[in-house]
Amino acid sequence: MEDLIFETGEIATLTINRPKALNALNREVLEGIARILRDVRHDASVRILIVTGAGDRAFVAGADIAAMSEMSVVEGQEFMRLGHRVMQTFEDLPIPVIAAVNGFALGGGLELALACDLILASEKARFGQPEINLGIIPGFGGTQRLPHRIGQVRARELIMTGEMFDARTALEWGLVNHVVAAEALIPETRKLAEKIAGKSGFALRQAKAALRASFTMEEDAGLRFEQSTVAVVFGSADKTEGMKAFIEKRQPKWQHR
Ligand code: HXC
């Protein structure tokens, strides 16, 4: 599918490739992403996934407005469910996912970045939930994930005004991990991915699951979940190797997944 470019490998890259529409997400693109994520999930050779947008203007400027303008209530609901399913699939992937935000990340585009584990932004990146200006509201998880990441106070104002904010503001608010020059975005994202790929894949998977619980569970249940997850990693070959390597003053050799 030419609207998506998937380059596989230990560090795989998924590029949304509709630059003429600022990489807007329509049904076909979302279904294509769902198919790629299904393959990634079952491919043990992929250890980190990078998601980005084609061209130098946009990460993803939102769900496709032209397509949505034609949708009935039922079609709109199906589209929303598909979007939710895709965002949840990103969150449930056992491997870390990094969004490399190279331009506009608006509406469904910001919601896509919010479903990733880490976000790197180019200095040119612009973020926002402008749905209110179209007479709708965020529908791919933004009303839940945005306040979770940046707090209720800021999220309420952003969703109610629809205003955009720049990369520096996103950094100050703790939405993005790093802001880098536009030309350094992909190299810096790969550098971070390589650093993470050098860790135990099994421990990373458990860390991601426990972190996800902080979003989906009440604190008590989350703390219990962490304890059971620690018990799982304590039984792993990578725990034995990691601690042995420390004591023997050498680099560990992970078994990965
Ligand atoms: C479809 C889009 C699009 C979108 C841009 N385009 N955003 N097409 N869906 N979300 C198209 C434009 O129509 C235009 O096509 C081309 O991309 C370039 O955009 P311009 O508007 O000409 O560029 P510019 O003037 O620089 O403005 C950039 C922009 C603006 C500020 C990003 O395009 C914009 O406001 N876009 C919409 C952003 C938005 O509202 N996103 C949220 C969508 S709702 P042509 O053919 O004219 O060249 C959403 C809800 C999710 O995401 C949940 C639903 C259930």
Question: Does residue 233 line the site of ligand 1, with CB under 6 A?
Answer: no
Tens digit of pLDDT for each residue in 229-240?
999 999 999 999
Tens digit of pLDDT for each residue in 63-114?
999 999 999 999 999 999 999 999 999 999 999 999 999 999 999 999 999 9
* Mean pLDDT over the full length of the chain: 97
Nearest atom in ligand 1 to the alpha carbon of residue 108 is: 52
Tens digit of pLDDT for each residue in 110-150?
999 999 999 999 999 999 999 999 999 999 999 999 999 99
pLDDT score for 146: 98
User: Which residues are registered as beta bridge partners of 49?
Assistant: 12, 97
pLDDT score for 31: 98
pLDDT score for 248: 98
Complete domains list, the chain, with CATH: 4-197 (3.90.226.10), 201-247 (1.10.12)
Q: What residues are labeled active site?
A: 111, 131
- What pLDDT band is residue 257 in, cutting at 50, 70 and 90? low
Q: For residue 45, report the distance from its CA to the centre of ligand 1, in Å.
A: 36
Mutation to probe ligand 1, out of 17, 22, 82, 134 (largest number of atoms < 8 A from CB): 22
pLDDT score for 155: 98
Tens digit of pLDDT for each residue in 144-196?
999 999 999 999 999 999 999 999 999 999 999 999 999 999 999 999 999 99
Mutation to probe ligand 1, out of 3, 27, 65, 81 (largest number of atoms < 8 A from CB): 65
Q: For residue 134, report the distance from its CA to the centre of ligand 1, in Å.
A: 11
The mean pLDDT of 15-26, rounded to a whole number, is 98
- What pLDDT band is residue 1 in, cutting at 50, 70 and 90? confident
Q: For residue 20, report the distance from its CA to the centre of ligand 1, in Å.
A: 10
Nearest atom in ligand 1 to the alpha carbon of residue 133 is: 40
Q: For residue 112, report the distance from its CA to the centre of ligand 1, in Å.
A: 16
Question: Does residue 117 line the site of ligand 1, with CB under 6 A?
Answer: no
